[in-house]
Structure 1
Amino acid sequence: MSLFKKPKRNIRRRDFDSNEENEEEGDFKIDGQDSKKNVNVKTNDPKVKKEKKKQAVLSFHEELDEGDDGEIFQVKKSSQSKKIRKLMDKERKKKKDVKSDVNESSNTKENLSEITTIDEITIKIKNNLPINRVLNGREAEMAEIDGVSSEEEDDSGHKFSHPDLVKQMLKKGQIPDAAMIHAARKRRQQAREMGGDYIPIEDSSTKYETSKPSSNSKSRLIREDDNDGSDDEERIKMVVNTAAIDKERRREAFHTALENESEESDHGEEEEWEKQQIRKGVTGAQIAAVQQENMYYAYAMPPEAVGIAMPIEPPLPECVTLPVQVFPPLPMMGTGKVDHVSVAKRIQERLADIKEVSRRHALDRDERAAQLELLRKEIDQLKVEAPGLAERFRFYQDLRGYVTDLVECLDEKVVILVALEQRILNLYQKRATELISRRRQDMKDQAEEMALPSKNVPPKRDAIQVRRAAEREGRRIRRMKAREGKTTTKHVEGMSSDEEVTEMEASNFRTTKEQVEQDARHLFEDALDEFSTVKGILERFDSWKKTDKDAYAEAYVHICLPKVLGPLIRLQLLTWSPFVQGGIDLEKINWNHHLLMYSLRENETEGSLKTDPDVELVPRIVEKVMLPKLDQLVCAQWDPLSSSQTLALVSIVTKFLQDYPTLGPNSKVLTLLLNNIVNKMTDAVENDLYIPIYPPKMADGRMIAFFNRQFASAVKLLGNIVRWQGLLKDEVLYKIALDALLNRYLLLALRTCDTLDAALKCHMIGSVLPRVWLHAGSVPEQLVALFNQAKLLAQQLDSSKPVVRDILDKLSVFLKAIP
């Protein structure tokens, strides 16, 4: 790590011949010849008493203050600068006579004198110390040059390596370059590292203090070794002070003695360091081995054997302390008697040990031989299985590519499929909404027409109401003509559904539907059959099941198949609706047949079917695909007042629950469908029922006809709701059919009719109720009010009349159910 920050070499060198030197000489006008004169120049402005800014010695001081290029160059103090300072101190001693003259001349003046230059630099000198001579500029440099020769004779001072070079640079007014500064720093660093007792250079606060040190402080960057006592940015001030110079001389002598002592001690430290390194390089074990070897040869080979004069006792080697004994001592020979028995015994023991080792080796050999044999068999088996495994690998690679392509194809087509489904749902919902709104508007118009007039003033009707009334009567007449000759039973007004639409509306409906069907046919036209048909996809997965059934089961293909086949089945069920006559029969669709026959084998048994993971494929398809489709159609198209739609919906839900037992209370999709059905029925009871109540004496034929139609519509809605008995909970049906409809609307209307008409209407209500509710012991409490009303009507009727007897026979159903 370098000890200084390398500058960008944009340093301006000081030139003593420049205008700056001339200006400086012109400002101060001080040289060596006029040093005995006392200069006292007063400034024109008496208010300026303090020194505003000290002129820097370095020429780039202003650039450092401004910080144009963002770098700071600071000249480090070296031992060379200390040498120069010592030279200047000795020069001051030689000029004591000059100092005494200056003191005598200064005593006759004021205690505080001011020397002010043109650029407002003021130097204040107080008389608390003797007035010393201050040398600035060229005089200071000349004083340094003159004192070099005298300082060289002082052996206690520090020795400079290149004094001539420093003097030449100072004479030229140049700044030491980076190399010289770096060399000085390296010498100081080496002195600190090599000498443990080295005393660092003192802080600047103990040397050359002025009367106001705070005024000389500058915001300069202080380096890690910048501990010298002078400020580079200020001029060098040399004050002749005998006491301070003596004190400084003693301190320098002390420092020099310490440095010399540290240099002498360095040699001993280096020798000790070399010994330590040698000890580290050569281990104690090696030294001990060499010593023992020398001792062995010294004792084993006498001097006479080699003919060399050697001392009788070999010299002992240098003692080395070791943590452990490298060579253990040889065991001492026993003093007991050795005979052939003991030798034979030892031989036998040795033989037994060798046999045991041999036995273990033989066992290891046999084990390795068996392992080799097994490995040979395994190699042969793998060679036989390699073609099959390679074929299986290729099959799975093809299957992986097929599944990836299939998923990408379905992801692309599902977006278009969802848009097509939304279009067809909007078409069905629009038509159902129009029919329901028209029925409710007709009911409202008729209620207004049949309202009791006030003061014999008929209600006013606008043209729109007149047009709606005409259209309503026209549709009623056309339905009446369509029923003629088809049924033998008498039709009751209000039991038929008004679902007739105009030819234009029917044409627009067919056109939109055909357009959706055409777009659906072009959806998979760019895909192969194995990607666009249920049969093609099932064949690929069936081949996987035949090849590796275990892997097929571990991959949970039976769970993924409904999701894979779902888009294709939804596309074929795009226009299907159970509420449209002449719709698609689900049992006759091709994909249903393919699903039923999937993975069926000729030797299939009941036991194998139980373990087949695809045995529930069709129920999962119904739950995951068909029930959500049916739920959407219920919300968009089903009308609870339509007996045909309700019958079709009840039939298909019943079929699903009977054919697929997996659909139960735990099925979330089935639960959602039944909740939507209940909500639709509740909405119909609240918004589609209206039974007017007219006084018998004021009601005319038109009012009675409207009353009978609305009563029949309520009974039809009651019959449609109770058709869900067995599919929905009885508590839910009691709440909707009996509490909200029967007891609130129908019973109230029965009490306003005459006895014979009320008996007929009571029979009409009983004909739509489930038979399970009319059995003795299982009658719900909500039907008690109806039973009481029927019993009261039977008591009021005259049984002598034949018509009355027929009505009483019809009421016998209620009379038998009464507990």
Structure 2
Amino acid sequence: MRHAPSVGSYTLTACQLCTTQNLIRALDDCLIHCRLAQAGETEVFKVRKSTYSRRLAKQLERDRKKKLREATRVEVKPEPDPVPTAPPEKPAARPFSDELEIKIKNTFKILNSEEAKGSDSEEEEDGEGDGPRYRRGLRNVIQSGVIPDAATIYALKKQRQMAREMGDFVPLEQEDQKGGRNDEEDQSEDEEGRINFTVNTAALEKQRAREALIQAQEEHSGDEVAREDVAELDRWEQEQMKKGVSTAPASAPLSPSSSLSKRTVPAYFTEPVPPSMTAQDRKNLTSQAVLERVTDRLRTVREMLELHRRQKTQALTDLEVAAETISRLREEQPQLADDFRFFQEMRSYAADLIECLDAKTPVILALEGRMMSLLCQRSERLVQRRHQDVRDQSDECSLAVKGLRGVPVEPANNRGSQQRSWRAAEREGRRVRRRKAREAQQQGLVQQRSLAHYEGMSTDDEQPDTERMAFDKERELILDDARHVFEDVTEQFSGVAALKHRFEVWKTDYGQSYEQAYIPLCLVKLLVPFVRLHMVAWNPIEKPEMPESFGWYETLLFYGNDSPDDPDLCLLPRVVERVLLPKMAALAEKVWDPLSSTQTLNLVRTAKKLSEDYPTVGAHSRHTQNFLAKVAARISRAIDEDVYIPLYPKEVLENRSAAPAAFLHRQFWSCLKLMKNVLSWQGLLAEEPLKELSLCSLLNRYLIVALQACLSQRDTVEKCNRVVSTLPTAWLRGEPLPQLELLTRFLRLYQQHLEGLCTSSSTLGPDMHARAHVEIRVFSPLSSVLLKEALRSPGCMPQLVASPLRLVVDFSSPNVAKPFHVGHLRSTLLGHSLCNMLAIAGHRVTRLNYLGDWGTQCSAC
């Protein structure tokens, strides 16, 4: 249809009117047939209809009766001839339209809810006579066509209320002709109706036809409601007008003599009405405009052709690629099948391996725990024995000091005294055995100079035979259990070699998937349990074995390739970091004895070797930091628990053979040995913690106190020399360390003490000779450092002479027939130094020495 209906004027086209009339007739026939069928049937199950459906049916019935009573007058007006120059004023009056405008004078009235209720029962009361007065008034209001206002509605309500009060019958529900209520009203609105079990198919078909018509009417009424939006209809008309304008060029205009009155209006249209076309104004049409339009059209067609060609080319290319892909996949299908089989096998192997390791890892950890507990128990026994020996010696010295002072001593317990005597006898026996072993070792070393050994510098780590046998037996049991951990699994899960073979095949054949699966990161975790099992008996404190001596290291050494981009290039360093460093940290915390020079040297060598050979063992490593933290904590605990310097009166220490002096002497050398062991960690531990442990905690707190206590003893010079030589050379260069201020002050004090002894004595005895001789050795480390710094300063070295001379310097030499005197040494040193200075200046020097002590005791030239 060409025009949309206008709701405001109720204008319908002829096509719409004919269609509505046909629909009404069909609905009327269907209802009549349905009533006849219902009248002829005796037993029919009724299906409850909704209230809305019943209202629609009643509305249709009322419309039908109303149309039968009233004659519809239709007024057909011919459209005026369109004027080409003037545009149409209304969208409905369009030129060259084949439709006729039909206006219906009898328009529908708008009813409110009360009027709608009255209208529902109006048709049914027509055949029964007039009802109550309020019904007649309501009917008159509705028939008048006027919408009732509030006053009218109120009056109607009052009439209804008065009818109730006067006893008049006000029906609330519609009754049928028999006076009973309709069966379908008795049913609840919430019920869905009864199931029809009848075999009368004709009635069912009629019922379905009735429901279909009602549904069509509902849709038609919904469309009528939707058309009430005037703005939407206007927009639709505008769009339709635009479509009509944008269509193809219209045909030749109709002649003005054509009249719409001669056209016949069909009852209904079987085909859609063609859109109307308007003629174009050809007055302004030029050849250039036509040429441009044709050119644009040609260009558009060419562009479309080119686009289609490209699409065709792309489609052909895609087909070729698809064919090649199909061919390639067919060729790769056997290889892909093998790859799939391999990955399935690796998946199953990895799952079984993880399950195996989940079961065996707790066993491996238990074996490590047993071995660590065994070593820890032995170390604790030795440390406790040393502590008990120190307490026993301290108690004995205290009793001796009290005896020398004449202080009465309480009698000791017999049982405690007997146990102390047994411990003292065992202690002396161990010392004798260590001394003999040391002497035998020194005799075996030919031409090897070593520092003098003092009591207290050896470690008492000897075990009784019973304890050593029990230790060895338990250790063998642990190692035997370790060898049988994987005996109940297959060979492909039992060792590092099988694991390496599996993953090496994966890496060689499928390198890309090997890296995408992050196997280089996971492989270390898979290897750690096997390596830890091999390293159960590894103890770098007793025997510094490097990882290169183990079988697993040789197995993993050539894993991967030599490419610098190989992700498994650091496989061994990562394994060492994950396995060896945690074990070394545990040993340093629980087993290592900082007072043992052998254990300290072994542990330091192992740590330095690992840090030099493996890049993962460094300051950035978390395991390395943990290991060094355990070392520092163990040293600090040893300083607090194992270092003890007794303080006795000066008169007690003058007797070197007395027990108190020997005990002080032993404790001093033991403390000095601990400081030396601490300083052996230089390069591994940080400088500040190392200075704090060695200088502040040991040197300034214990060693200097012991030196001050034995200031007048002969071996004090040797002790000072050992203390200075123990310090790292780097700490003595440059700016003086604040931690060495106490040591420097003590050395100056001791120098003044020696000078006072030399000047006050008229004759230098052998003791003083030895002291003067050793005094040079004491200060030689410090003097050498100061001398080197002085020589570097400008103006210190002699200037070269222009004309060198030949000079002869004669000075005395030691007398081989007599004891060496300090005067001989002084003359020799002066002559030697003078010769060196002259030679540096450029002179040719001849050295002349006396063989005896006669002659000039000073150098001459």
Range with bigger deviation, 350-359 or 565-574: 350-359
Change in Cα spacing, 1:554 to 1:349, as seen in structure 2 (3 Å) is: closer
Following TM superposition, by how much is the alpha carbon of 1:279 offset from its aligned partner in structure 2, in angstroms? Answer: 7.8
Match of 1:613 among 567, 584, 601: 567
Alpha-carbon distance in structure 1 between the residues aligned to 2:603 and 2:366: 25
Match status 1:769 vs 2:727: yes
Query: In the alignment, residue 804 of structure 1 is paired with which amino acid?
Result: R
Alpha-carbon distance in structure 2 between the residues aligned to 1:430 and 1:187: 95
Query: In the alignment, residue 425 of structure 2 is paired with which amino acid?
Result: A
1:736: which partner in 2?
A: 693
1:663: which partner in 2?
A: 617
Following TM superposition, by how much is the alpha carbon of 1:709 offset from its aligned partner in structure 2, in angstroms? Answer: 0.7
Change in Cα spacing, 1:460 to 1:548, as seen in structure 2 (3 Å) is: same
Q: For structure 2, list consecutive stretches of 5 or more residues without a partner in the other structure.
A: 1-45, 60-112, 119-161, 183-209, 225-260, 444-449, 759-763, 790-861
2:777: which partner in 1?
A: 810
Give CA deviations for 1:753-784 in whole Å, capped at 9, x if unaligned: 1153321211122232223223x425422223
What SS does the aligned partner of 2:681 have? Answer: coil
Aligned 8 A contact 1:494 1:713 in 2: yes
Query: In the alignment, residue 442 of structure 1 is paired with which amino acid?
Result: D
1:592: which partner in 2?
A: 553
Aligned 8 A contact 1:409 1:531 in 2: yes
Change in Cα spacing, 1:580 to 1:316, as seen in structure 2 (3 Å) is: same
Aligned 8 A contact 2:594 2:600 in 1: yes
Match of 1:725 among 677, 682, 689: 682
2:586: which partner in 1?
A: 632
Alpha-carbon distance in structure 2 between the residues aligned to 1:717 and 1:594: 40
Change in Cα spacing, 1:687 to 1:383, as seen in structure 2 (3 Å) is: same
Following TM superposition, by how much is the alpha carbon of 1:631 offset from its aligned partner in structure 2, in angstroms? Answer: 0.7
Give CA deviations for 1:485-529 in whole Å, capped at 9, x if unaligned: 322664310111111111111111111111111111111112233
Query: In the alignment, residue 168 of structure 2 is paired with which amino acid?
Result: A
Alpha-carbon distance in structure 1 between the residues aligned to 2:302 and 2:784: 109
Following TM superposition, by how much is the alpha carbon of 1:407 offset from its aligned partner in structure 2, in angstroms? Answer: 1.1
Alpha-carbon distance in structure 1 between the residues aligned to 2:693 and 2:296: 105
Aligned 8 A contact 1:758 1:793 in 2: no
Match status 1:443 vs 2:390: yes
Following TM superposition, by how much is the alpha carbon of 1:368 offset from its aligned partner in structure 2, in angstroms? Answer: 2.7
Alpha-carbon distance in structure 2 between the residues aligned to 1:669 and 1:712: 34
Query: In the alignment, residue 381 of structure 1 is paired with which amino acid?
Result: R
Give CA deviations for 1:263-285 in whole Å, capped at 9, x if unaligned: 99x9xxxx999789448479999
Following TM superposition, by how much is the alpha carbon of 1:659 offset from its aligned partner in structure 2, in angstroms? Answer: 0.9
1:460: which partner in 2?
A: 412
Following TM superposition, by how much is the alpha carbon of 1:353 offset from its aligned partner in structure 2, in angstroms? Answer: 8.1
What SS does the aligned partner of 2:625 have? Answer: helix
Change in Cα spacing, 1:352 to 1:450, as seen in structure 2 (3 Å) is: closer
2:27: which partner in 1?
A: none
1:173: which partner in 2?
A: none
Change in Cα spacing, 1:612 to 1:778, as seen in structure 2 (3 Å) is: farther
Aligned 8 A contact 1:432 1:639 in 2: yes
Query: In the alignment, residue 683 of structure 1 is paired with which amino acid?
Result: R
1:683: which partner in 2?
A: 637
Alpha-carbon distance in structure 1 between the residues aligned to 2:299 and 2:691: 100
Following TM superposition, by how much is the alpha carbon of 1:316 offset from its aligned partner in structure 2, in angstroms? Answer: 4.4
Alpha-carbon distance in structure 1 between the residues aligned to 2:743 and 2:299: 112
What pairs up with 1:260-275 in 2 under 5 angstroms?
none
What pairs up with 1:273-292 in 2 under 5 angstroms?
277-278=216-217, 280=219
Give CA deviations for 1:373-417 in whole Å, capped at 9, x if unaligned: 232222222222222222222221111111111111111100111
Alpha-carbon distance in structure 1 between the residues aligned to 2:715 and 2:624: 42
Match status 1:673 vs 2:627: yes
Match of 2:342 among 382, 392, 395: 395
Query: In the alignment, residue 769 of structure 1 is paired with which amino acid?
Result: L
Query: In the alignment, residue 742 of structure 1 is paired with which amino acid?
Result: L
Query: In the alignment, residue 679 of structure 1 is paired with which amino acid?
Result: A
Alpha-carbon distance in structure 1 between the residues aligned to 2:598 and 2:474: 24
Query: In the alignment, residue 505 of structure 1 is paired with which amino acid?
Result: E
In the alignment of these two chains, the number of paired residues is 544
Match status 1:414 vs 2:361: yes
Change in Cα spacing, 1:284 to 1:660, as seen in structure 2 (3 Å) is: closer
Alpha-carbon distance in structure 2 between the residues aligned to 1:589 and 1:351: 86
Change in Cα spacing, 1:187 to 1:515, as seen in structure 2 (3 Å) is: closer
Alpha-carbon distance in structure 2 between the residues aligned to 1:501 and 1:381: 76
Alpha-carbon distance in structure 1 between the residues aligned to 2:172 and 2:583: 107
Report sequence identity in percent: 35
Match status 1:622 vs 2:583: no
2:30: which partner in 1?
A: none
What SS does the aligned partner of 2:682 have? Answer: coil
Give CA deviations for 1:152-192 in whole Å, capped at 9, x if unaligned: xxxxxxxxxxxxxxxxxxxxxxxxxxxxxxx9x99999999
1:546: which partner in 2?
A: 508
Aligned 8 A contact 2:595 2:674 in 1: yes
Alpha-carbon distance in structure 2 between the residues aligned to 1:570 and 1:814: 49
Alpha-carbon distance in structure 2 between the residues aligned to 1:714 and 1:357: 100
What SS does the aligned partner of 2:170 have? Answer: helix
What SS does the aligned partner of 1:777 have? Answer: coil
Alpha-carbon distance in structure 1 between the residues aligned to 2:54 and 2:577: 93
Following TM superposition, by how much is the alpha carbon of 1:698 offset from its aligned partner in structure 2, in angstroms? Answer: 3.0
Change in Cα spacing, 1:683 to 1:328, as seen in structure 2 (3 Å) is: same
Change in Cα spacing, 1:440 to 1:316, as seen in structure 2 (3 Å) is: same
Give CA deviations for 1:307-329 in whole Å, capped at 9, x if unaligned: xxxxx978746799xxxx96412
Give CA deviations for 1:39-59 in whole Å, capped at 9, x if unaligned: xxxxxxxxxxxxxxxxxxxxx
1:205: which partner in 2?
A: none
Aligned 8 A contact 1:494 1:712 in 2: yes
Following TM superposition, by how much is the alpha carbon of 1:345 offset from its aligned partner in structure 2, in angstroms? Answer: 13
2:64: which partner in 1?
A: none
Change in Cα spacing, 1:351 to 1:686, as seen in structure 2 (3 Å) is: closer
Give CA deviations for 1:565-601 in whole Å, capped at 9, x if unaligned: 00011001101111224x644221111122221123x
Aligned 8 A contact 1:689 1:714 in 2: yes
Match status 1:499 vs 2:453: no
Match of 2:379 among 405, 427, 432: 432
Following TM superposition, by how much is the alpha carbon of 1:248 offset from its aligned partner in structure 2, in angstroms? Answer: 11
What pairs up with 1:745-760 in 2 under 5 angstroms?
745-753=702-710, 754-760=712-718
2:96: which partner in 1?
A: none
Following TM superposition, by how much is the alpha carbon of 1:260 offset from its aligned partner in structure 2, in angstroms? Answer: 6.6
1:693: which partner in 2?
A: 647
Match status 1:470 vs 2:425: yes
Aligned 8 A contact 1:738 1:783 in 2: yes
Aligned 8 A contact 1:449 1:459 in 2: no
Alpha-carbon distance in structure 1 between the residues aligned to 2:731 and 2:354: 53
Change in Cα spacing, 1:644 to 1:261, as seen in structure 2 (3 Å) is: same
Alpha-carbon distance in structure 1 between the residues aligned to 2:298 and 2:739: 108
What SS does the aligned partner of 1:676 have? Answer: helix
Query: In the alignment, residue 589 of structure 1 is paired with which amino acid?
Result: F
Alpha-carbon distance in structure 1 between the residues aligned to 2:659 and 2:407: 19
Change in Cα spacing, 1:653 to 1:259, as seen in structure 2 (3 Å) is: same
What pairs up with 1:640-659 in 2 under 5 angstroms?
640-659=594-613
Match status 1:379 vs 2:326: yes
